[in-house]
């Protein structure tokens, strides 16, 4: 009989078995996944460069998008390639690196969720309390909120995986496997804090935003000529459009994150888990695509970056809005 292919043939008794896959299928899947990884990293790097370089884009809302792009860039440059290695069936980097990879995955997920909550709060204040927006939501306030979001994510993710740092091979059944699991209590806490709770907050805030936005749109149509100045109308239209565009980002986020958390609670086989994780990863690739479709400033910034106009002296003062 044909002997199974082992990850470490010299360790026959404790080595993991390499899963059997058709060569053509494995190559096709690898090419597709690496292409998604490269595209995710490249698109989010463009977002990071654009918002960081051009001063006109240093608005509170764009700083939240910058934080989201940084976490998405980490997913594309690190989480996706490592995910491909794990899918191939043999892990050669050791247990401790496996735990560090999982820690970074928890951090990026938590940061993404936190950024979505902050984006929802930003749109809520802009639409529902426009008179106080520029005093409550400042660049300093947003920078502080983003820093707290990242710090909390690092602390929270370290707490979730604290036992695994003491014994990284706790859930490893054979040599050449990267296996990470958390207890029922920690899994419940993770579900509530990084999915159920934030989702409720996001949905409630955006329901309120779109109710108020609809009433403002009707008011603008009926009173544009008689009661409001053109400057006020333009400002309100800009805020409503921003709410719509960021609403698309939030909806895509919910669609990509929901399968992972729902199936994590229900349980599933390894193939299901692989699919759910990559649907979650796909959100990091779709965000900059949404910016390209809905934000003229992003398309203009990409043109400047690709044509190397960004290297010209004083390019940071270029008007993008």
CATH number for the domain that contains residue 305: 1.20.1070.10
User: pLDDT band at residue 217, thresholds of 50, 70 and 90?
Assistant: low
Q: Are 241 and 265 in contact (CB under 8 A)?
A: no
Does 11 fall in a domain?
no
- What pTM value is reported for the model? 0.86
What pLDDT does 118 receive?
Answer: 93
pLDDT tens for each residue of 244-283: 777 788 888 888 888 887 776 655 444 457 788 888 899 9
Separation in Å, CA 317 to CA 1, 109, 240, 314, 321: 70, 34, 26, 6, 11
31 CB-near residues (< 8 Å, 6+ apart): none
Q: Is residue 2 part of a domain?
A: no
Question: What is the structure's pLDDT at 267?
Answer: 54
Residue 319 is predicted with a pLDDT of 86
In a domain, 13, yes or no: no
Residue 163 lies in a domain: yes
Residues 74-93 pLDDT 10s: 999 999 999 888 888 888 88
Q: Which domain holds residue 236?
A: 25-317
**pLDDT tens by residue, 88-135:** 888 888 888 888 999 999 999 999 999 999 988 998 888 888 888 888
Is 12 within a domain?
no
What is the pLDDT averaged over residues 205-232?
A: 65
User: Which residues are bridge partners to 175 per DSSP?
Assistant: 15
Render pLDDT for 275-309 as a digit per residue (tens, 0 to 9). Answer: 888 888 999 999 888 887 888 888 899 999 999 89
- 64 lies in some domain: yes
Q: Is residue 125 included in any domain, yes or no?
A: yes
On whether residue 129 sits in a domain, the answer given is yes
pLDDT of residue 205: 87
Answer yes or no: is pLDDT of 234 > 70: no
**Average pLDDT taken over every residue of the chain:** 83
Does the structure show a pLDDT above 50 at 231? Answer: no
Q: Which string of DSSP letters, residue by residue, matches 257-305?
A: HHHHHHHHHH---HHHHHHHHHHHHHHHHHHHHHHHHH-HHHHHHHHHH
For 138, residues 6+ apart whose C-beta sits below 8 A from its C-beta are 60
Predicted local distance difference test score (pLDDT) of residue 3: 52
Looking at the structure of the chain, the number of domains it has is 1
């Amino acid at each position: 009989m044909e002997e199974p292919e082992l990850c470490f043939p010299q360790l026959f008794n404790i080595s993991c078995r390499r899963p059997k896959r058709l060569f053509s299928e494995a190559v096709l899947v690898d090419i597709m996944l690496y292409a998604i990884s490269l595209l995710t990293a490249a698109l989010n790097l463009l977002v990071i460069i654009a918002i960081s370089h051009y001063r006109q884009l240093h608005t509170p809302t764009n700083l939240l998008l910058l934080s989201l792009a940084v976490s998405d860039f980490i997913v594309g440059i690190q989480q996706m390639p490592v995910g491909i290695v794990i899918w191939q069936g043999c892990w050669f980097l050791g247990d401790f690196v496996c735990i560090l990879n999982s820690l970074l995955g928890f951090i990026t997920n938590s940061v993404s969720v936190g950024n979505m909550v902050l984006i929802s709060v930003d749109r809520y204040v802009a639409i529902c309390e426009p008179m106080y927006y520029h005093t409550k939501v400042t660049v300093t306030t947003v920078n502080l909120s983003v820093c707290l979001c990242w710090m909390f994510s690092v602390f929270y993710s370290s707490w979730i995986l604290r036992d695994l740092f003491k014994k990284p091979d706790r859930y490893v059944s054979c040599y050449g496997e990267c296996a990470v699991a958390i207890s029922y209590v920690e899994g419940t806490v993770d579900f509530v804090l990084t999915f159920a709770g934030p989702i409720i907050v996001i949905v409630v805030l955006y329901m309120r935003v779109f109710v108020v936005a609809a009433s403002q749109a009707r008011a603008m149509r009926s009173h544009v000529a008689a009661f409001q100045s053109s400057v006020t109308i333009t400002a309100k239209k800009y805020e409503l459009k921003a709410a719509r565009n960021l609403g698309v980002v939030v909806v895509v986020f919910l669609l990509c994150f929901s399968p992972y958390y729902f199936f994590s609670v229900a349980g599933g086989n390894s193939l299901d888990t692989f699919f759910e994780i990559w649907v979650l990863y796909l959100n990091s690739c779709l965000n900059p695509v949404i910016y390209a479709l809905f934000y003229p400033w992003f398309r203009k910034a990409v043109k400047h970056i690709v044509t190397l106009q960004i290297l010209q002296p004083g390019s940071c003062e270029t008007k993008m809005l």
